[in-house]
Amino acid sequence: MTDKIKKDTSLGEIATKYPKAAEVLAKKGMACVGCPMAMMETVEMGAKSHGLDVDKLLKEMNKAIKED
């Protein structure tokens, strides 16, 4: 099964389509998921700006939505 969330997925899309993944982001200190800029910011951009490993973050988020 292919992961639904990828590096180029917008944070806004995650906030609206994948609430469990948004919870993962919030726990990592990325509470900006709901802000207006999140609509254009990607997972990769957000991870870099918060000093997070994007690949680990993607694994955690995709795992969270598969368990849902």
pLDDT digits (tens, 9 = 90+) for 6-62: 999 999 899 889 999 999 999 998 876 667 777 789 999 989 988 999 999 999 999
Cα–Cα distance for residue pair 38/34, rounded to 1 Å:
6
Q: Specify the pLDDT at position 23.
A: 93
pTM above 0.75, yes or no: yes
Q: Specify the pLDDT at position 53.
A: 97
Residue 42, strand partner residues: 10
Domain boundaries, the chain: 11-67
Question: Both ends of the chain: CA-CA distance in Å?
Answer: 15
Q: Specify the pLDDT at position 29.
A: 86
Tokens of 50: 């918060």
How many Cβ atoms sit within 10 Å of the Cβ of residue 62? Answer: 19
Q: Specify the pLDDT at position 33.
A: 64
